[in-house]
Structure 1
Amino acid sequence: MTQIAPPPTIPAALEQWFADQGWQPHRHQLEMLHAAGHALLIAPTGGGKTLAGFLPTLADACTGDMGAGMHTLYVSPLKALTHDIARNLSRPVADLGLDLRIEDRTGDTSATRRARQRVDPPHILLTTPESLALMLSYPEAPRIFQGLKRVVIDEIHALADSKRGDQLALGLSRLITLAPGLSIAGLSATVESPAALAQFIGGAEIVQADPGPPPDIAMLPTTGIPPWSGAGGAYAARDVLAAIRDARLTLVFINTRAQAELFFQALWAVNDENLPIGLHHGSLSRDARHKVETAMAQGALRAVVATGSLDLGLDWGDVDLVVQIGAPKNIKRLVQRIGRANHRFDTPSRARIVPANRFEVLECLAALQAVQAGELDGDGQPPVGGLDVLCQHILTLSCAGPFDGDSLFHEIRRAGPYASLSRAQFDDCLDFVATGGYALRAYDRWQRLMQKSGQWQLRDPRAARDIRMNIGTIVAPELLSVRRGPRGGAPLGEIEESFAAALSPGDTFLIGGQTVRYDRLRDMVVEVTPQPTREPKIAVFNGLKMATSTELSARVLALIGDRSAWAALPGHTADWLALQTEVATLPTPGTMTCESFSRGGRWYFALYSFAGRNANQTLGLLMTHRMEQAKLAPLGLVATDYALLVWSLDPVRDPAPLLDPDGLRDGMETWLAENAVMKRTFRAVATISGLLQRNLPGQRKSGKQATFSSDILYDTLRKFDPDHLLLRITRSESMRGLADFGRIEQMLRARPHIVHSLPPHVTPFAAPLMLEAGRIPIRGAGTERLLDEEAARMMAEAGLQLDETPSKTSA
């Protein structure tokens, strides 16, 4: 006879607390409470994930089983989340009358509090991966964490596929060494491969919650038709404002900071009723962001225009509508943003999408279909840890005290992303950290570790301070503070150093939703004057240029190739597709569709790859190089997520040689060796690995100084040590990151059949590309030919011949 296990129970006090709230614990919350070992909870937004993660802690507190010192460590990807969790967690703690100290530790925490936490840690500490790494660098780390019972990782999906995730996984493995009995709980709402994410935390029991009601998600009807190009969505500002008017609180998500500033301006231009609308993104000052967050929590706003700064976890209970401006580029991102609305388990989230241009209509519909089908992006493979992050981790641990190399190797292999790390790879990293590698070992500044009695330790203990100041894996562009008026003026936010360098006194730009005039740069501070009546010259910020995911691109391609699916499209978009079939060929799955046509004395080659912006731009640069070799005289290119357009003086009649995978790979490696992409990647790798230090006591290198230093090191290593560890890491990351060459190869393998047409004129699909901003000129033989031809025309108009000797005039 099968014996049925009794239902899991919770302490009586905790059970009564649930009853007092009028709640019943969800099944997944009880499963997390009684999970043996590590656990990964996948639950929809509003499903009580955070409470489920903390239930074992609250249960231990109710039964007096907290022990001494730190009991629970909470790790989140955002500092703002730690504040939100502290506020929400204080309620059950107070209601239950528990004597628990809950504190956060982030970059915003005062030095006094951080110092006290090292001596007297709280029962529950809320932190980020960077702050955890910093704590592990102190000699007191074994004492701080020796009694740790539980680690809760919120929004774990946002960390797992990044270098921050590598840093966190290494930190978790270290914590297990310091506190062998601890359990880890990962929390997420958007997981495409639970098994891969469970492996990230070293293997975990997967707890799957009920999915809850499907979201109410659709395209927002607009009175205007999306433009042919652009990404701002301003044409729909009145329609979005009408949706805001009909909701309590709306989050308007847009993909980049510059677009957020511009759309915020567009909304205010039509906001005749003066509805209170805020702006929130990562480059605004902390005070500005805090004011918006407080106003949201108090119900004082009707809408907030935001970037990814409000994507994760924050519980704004009154949000009842999410509007996504522009294609989401990623299905998981869209699901995460949808979940900000109606942040309750039993209420469907309501979201509307506004495509920014004609191509994005297709991507938005494909994204809607993916959400409705419950599909997410990702290849389902466990992430592989970066060796530059491993180098930083070794340096970090050396600050805490001597370590044994063999023991550390086995500890690192316990971290999910480093499970396949070879001993040779580990030894390479250790040698680099200790000596700088073959070409640099003669320099004292990179001689950082030595062995003594079989243990590795810092050569100079004073170096620990500099190492700690440079812990972290986020290598952002150098940012300059923007302040109103002369010294002491109110801070408005930050802009990239490269953007500031391009400004001249009197130039106007947008920041924080207002137009300001650039006055001067003084002591690394950009001083500005508000100019509310002037049009901005330009919106600030380079922002994040996100590429459409592989899964979403495949869905768009399938949608274009399936005529039966066109009925779901707006009439103007379906007509656009039909017109393309009359003039040229439609892209379809399994084929590489391209076309060549002439216009205005130029030849245009359009390739509909749907490979993402980065991959298309890289492909364009490689193809134009081969076109130069074939004497086709390319003049320029423009790349979008969907296509590549190259213009030249002579036509591409056979694209197959230009798209040969082997030739492209050879060209890629040659191009990368000298390209700025390689040097930019090397600078990030060198900074993370500890070769370069941006922060030093009493000073900080400017972006130009850091670039100069890294370029010299890059050229030195290429000449004297081409197989140096950091160059190997750089080559690998360059192929994947900004260049995205792996996606080019994947595309060519998936669609080996090339379909090339020669339409008589510009095609419906190519027309938007010719209007696209961001054209890249190609300097080469084609440009010289144009100059020669223009010179000949001008001389002919003047009645002269180019080969004539100019007549001399006497003085």
Structure 2
Amino acid sequence: MSKAAVPPEISDWFAGRGWRIRQHQLDMLAAADAGQHAMLVADTGAGKTLAGFLPTLADFCPSRLGDKAPPEGLHTLYVSPLKALAHDVQRNLVTPVEEMGLPIRIETRSGDTPSDRKKRQRARPPHVLLTTPESLSLLLSFEDSFTLFAGLKRVVVDEIHAFATQKRGDLLALALSRLQAIAPDMQRAALSATVSDPEGYRGWIAPWGDVGSVELVQGEKGAEPQLEILLPDEERVPWGGHAATWAIPQLYQRIRDNRTTLVFTNTRFLAEYIFRNLWDANEDNLPIGIHHGSLSKEARRKVEGAMARGELRALVCTASLDLGVDWGDVDLVVQMGAPKGSSRLLQRIGRAGHRLDTPSRALLVPGNRFEFLEATAALQAVEEGQRDGEDFRPGGLDVLAQHVMACACAAPLHEDEVLAEVRSCWPYAHIDKAQFSRVLEFVATGGYALRAYDKFKRITRDKHGTWRLTHPEQSHRHRMNAGIIVDSEMLNVRFRNGRSLGKVEERFAASLRPGDTFQFSGVNLEVELLKDMELIVRASKKAASIPSYSGLRLPLTTHLADRVQGLLMDRAGWGRFPDDVREWLEVQDWRSHLPGPDRLLVESFPHAKRHYTVYYTFTGWNANQSLGMLITARMEALGLMPGGFVANDYSLAVWGLKPVTDPRPLLSPDILTEEFIDWVQESHLLRRAFREVAVIGGLVERQHPGKRKTGRQVTFSTDLIYDVLRKYEPDHVLIQAAWADARSKMTDVARLGDLLDTAAERLDHVTLDYVSPLAVPVMVMIGREAVPQGGADDELLLEAETLAGAAMRVGQPEEDVDLG
């Protein structure tokens, strides 16, 4: 790579602050000067964002311009996964621009931007626009997009790992292809601190699959982070629970000892729960805030501003602040509960210090013993520089349909030109002409089964083969409803007589079939019907078979799961664990087996007049929940009289009235071609997936002028269409897209497939007289599902100690132990 010529305005600004320009920043400038796209992988605090913007700043420096006037119009797009990150970047970018005296106007654009400013931005765009994938897609749907982006020189995609493997990444990839068609000389720059596969992401950002056109820039290595796992004062790691409320007194003391502390949780519920517990302990009345995606825009902006001004001592937050937010005064990051992945942990701890030469300080607070192992595994992975991440997957057809409609709103479409443009991005490189024609036909008519209805006719082909909007109003309807994020709903649980019992997560309700039983509000209930966002139930005398807790859960990565199993097998390393954790593993090793990598341990034992089988899968909660549904269905077919199951990230416990003498028939791979398909179709999983793809694909509209459809109205509409398509057009584009989502997002079928392959070749089945030590963390969850996650720690600990008395009593059968 040629050496970058740094304008004196930039070098003087760095020198005036006592800084040096990092080599990776110089390399990004050199790549741009050479006409190359670039992918920068650098540690948090390495100045990635400034590196991405250096070529833009250089283009506006008088020393480079000479006698030429500064560039006019939109010069650089910055695309961020979070609104908060875009606003943070604006704050931090304005300072160097002003201090260098550069004539650059910088603005943000998102769903929160007032409509009058959005309109003005199109007529008189800033030089630098900071936006999100959704807002960029909407900009491309306007007729003036061709003039707006004609002079675009650069797109900077920040935190690329947060986009590329998801549907928002599909939308962004399509938008980048359209921008490249409008502005052929446009340069792309991607930034990230935590990619596990730089070459893969390099291919994702490259236009036309031309990986060689993307310069891979490696950042300078920063100071090693300082990580610590917090343990209870009495050195006893809890058996069960996830909220880690045992740590509140110690956590509060850490907040008192530091200037500013960021406390990360994995769910919005836990953020609220930890925040409330911290306030109960806040005897000094310290300013402690909370931030998550369900809060209003005003509340989020208020907290972000307070943090930027250094007014808060602590902030409890979720993934809403995972990415790139630069608050230099944060000197400690706390992870409550297990991190679920080394890359996610690294991203979060990078919020502390946020300087390359300053070590980030982080505290990991495990909620139970498995989470202690997971925290240890994540800490080791970070120390060794190993990253994890999601696998790349083909782009969604529903997202492609939305993009096609956006393009049609901007101008008439020529099929071959748009197909070539679409295939120039990695997620859709596989799309052939026949598939693309099916997507076009869907946008034009809704599909074969719906073509008789005018409401689904959005585009039409003229005699010259050009696709046009059927009516100008279609563009307004598209812009009101476009987007990728479809909110999950809470469903009302009620009896037929109308009496309401409360609400459950839609993800959980969708997995149920008529006849399934679960416990809710202390009552055993049987499912009669799921209809119009309501779960109709009746009281049941049968024991609850399915746990009723759910909620958004971050997936345990395969890489971290393998590491946890490696810790279990590393007997020589147990000596560095707390005494109670070491003893837990030693007794497990003596009484049963340990679940090592590439082997599946299954334990069977009696307890409380039931027969239990525990599968140590390490596939994450979502896959374990799906496996529980499939195994109980197969047990029913085999006459094993299943009673129910409960799952966590590491294991699945299934119970019944008859013992499982051989688990292999329950785990044969054909379960994914027989029971899986039956379950997905008989439950509401496919309906729920269809609703999401129907909204994203534009078949069902959420927003009308002056009003927004309720979740119930959207569900009613999509259910009607779903029934029609299942009957008359089962190969419809959106049915195909719904199946893809059901297999990946909802059931994690790929990890299930790997697990079943392991079970077929390397399965260890151990029959015990009573519960094993390793089974206690999942066993204590049984019967507690009606309690909100995180709110049952005390009860769980009491139950854990009772079960542990049986599990840890070496050589004494369960009937001799008082189980209360």
Please give the per-residue CA displacement for 1:602-632, whole angstroms capped at 9, x wherever unaligned.
1111111111101111111101011001111
In the alignment, is the contact (CA less than 8 A) between 1:233 and 1:355 conserved in 2? yes
1:466 alignment counterpart:
477
CA distance in 1, matches of 2:320, 2:493: 21
Aligned match of 1:754 in 752, 760, 763? 763
Question: Any conservation in 1 of the 2:337–2:366 contact (CA below 8 Å)?
Answer: yes
Is the alpha carbon distance of 1:500 and 1:210 closer, same or farther for their aligned partners in structure 2, counting shifts above 3 Å?
Answer: farther
Q: How far, CA to CA, are the matches of 1:605 and 1:339 in structure 2?
A: 41
Contact residue 67 and residue 147 of structure 1 kept, 8 A: no
**Which residue is 2:6 aligned to?**
10
Determine if the alignment matches structure 1 residue 696 to structure 2 residue 707: no
Tell me which amino acid in the other structure corresponds to 1:48. Answer: G
Number of matched residues? 725
For residue 407 of structure 1, what is the aligned residue in structure 2? 417
What is the CA–CA distance in structure 2 between the aligned matches of 1:222 and 1:361, rounded to whole Å?
Answer: 11
Aligned to 1:86: 90
Q: What is the correspondence of 1:12-411 to structure 2 with a 5 Å cutoff? A: 12-35=8-31, 36-62=35-61, 63-64=64-65, 66-202=70-206, 203=211, 204-224=214-234, 225-378=236-389, 382-411=392-421
Instruction: State the SS of the aligned residue for 2:44.
Output: coil
Contact 1:281–1:306 under 8 Å retained in 2: yes
Cα distance in structure 2, aligned partners of 1:121 and 1:499: 50
1:673 and 2:681 equivalent? yes
Contact 2:228 2:362 in 1 (8 A): yes
Q: How far off is 1:558 after superposition?
A: 1.4
**Aligned in 2, Cα 1:497/1:718: closer, same or farther, shift over 3 Å?**
closer
CA distance in 2, matches of 1:222, 1:571: 12
**1:331 and 1:370 in contact (8 A); partners too:** yes
Q: Distance in 1 between matches of 2:321 and 2:621?
A: 25
Counterpart of 1:583 in structure 2 is 591
SS in 1 for 2:227: strand
Opposite residue 766 of structure 1, the aligned amino acid is: A
Q: How does 1:399-548 map to 2 (within 5 A)?
A: 399-452=409-462, 453-478=464-489, 543-548=551-556
What is the CA distance between 1:462 and its match in structure 2? 1.0
Residues 635 and 648, structure 1, Cα contact 8 Å, conserved in 2: yes
Contact kept? 2:3, 2:30, Cα under 8 Å: no
Q: Quick check: 1:765 aligned with 2:769?
A: no
Secondary structure at 2:653 match in 1: strand
Runs of 4+ with deviation above 6 angstroms: 503-509, 774-777
Counterpart contact for 2:493–2:501, Cα < 8 Å: no
Contact kept in structure 1, 2:612 and 2:655, CA below 8 Å:
yes
Deviates more, 1:56-65 or 1:355-364: 56-65
- TM-score between the two structures when normalised by the length of structure 2: 0.85
| Local SS of the residue matching 1:588 | coil
The answer to whether the 8 Å contact 2:170/2:399 transfers is yes
Asked if structure 1 preserves the Cα contact closer than 8 Å seen for 2:645 and 2:652, the reply is yes
Corresponding residue of 2:743? 735
Structure 1 residue 582 displacement after superposition: 2.7
1:323–1:352 contact (8 Å) kept in structure 2: yes
- Specify the SS of the correspondent of 1:160: coil
Measured after TM superposition, the shift of residue 774 of structure 1 is 7.4
One-letter amino acid matched to 1:29: Q
CA distance in 1, matches of 2:783, 2:407: 45
User: Hey, what's the Cα distance between the residues in 1 that align with 2:494 and 2:254?
Assistant: 36
Question: Following TM superposition, by how much is the alpha carbon of 1:454 offset from its aligned partner in structure 2, in angstroms?
Answer: 2.2
Identity %: 50
Q: 220-229 or 209-218, which moves further after superposition?
A: 220-229
SS in 2 for 1:397: helix
Change (3 A) 1:272 1:469: same
Q: Deviations over 1:246-283 (max 9, x none)?
A: 21111111111111111112222223222222111111
Gaps of 5+ in 1: 479-495, 510-540, 778-811
Cα distance between partner residues in 1 of 2:343 and 2:307: 25
Distance (whole Å) between structure 1 residues aligned to residue 493 and residue 376 of structure 2 = 35
Contact 1:258-1:542 within 8 A present in 2 as well: no
Cα deviations by residue, 1:81-118 (Å, 9 ceiling, x for unpaired): 22111111111111122222211111111111111111
Q: Given the superposition, is the C-alpha separation of residues 500 and 104 from structure 1 closer, same or farther in structure 2, using an over 3 Å criterion?
A: farther
Whichever residue aligns with residue 31 of structure 1, its letter is: D
- TM-score scaled by structure 1? 0.86
What letter matches 2:600 in structure 1? M
Mark the runs of 5 or more structure 2 residues left unpaired by the alignment: 505-548, 787-820
1:619 and 2:619 aligned = no
Partners of 1:747 and 1:196 lie apart in 2 by 25
Query: In the alignment, is residue 557 of structure 1 matched against residue 557 of structure 2?
Result: no
CA distance in 2, matches of 1:12, 1:500: 70
Q: 1:412-455: CA deviations, max 9, x gaps? A: 11112212222222111111111111111111111221112221
The one-letter amino acid paired with 1:425 is Q
Change (3 A) 1:773 1:326: farther
Counterpart residue type for residue 18 of structure 1: F
Distance 1:774 1:37, change over 3 A: farther
Task: Report the residue type matching 1:694 in the other structure.
Answer: R
Instruction: Kindly provide the amino acid, as one letter, of the partner of residue 324 in structure 1.
Output: Q
Letter in 2 for 1:437: G
Please say which of residues 261-270 and 135-144 is displaced more in the overlay.
261-270
- Report the Cα offset of residue 287 of structure 1: 2.3
Partner residue of 2:657?
Answer: 649
Equivalent-residue separation in structure 1 for 2:281 and 2:256 (angstroms): 12
Aligned-residue CA RMSD in angstroms?
A: 2.4
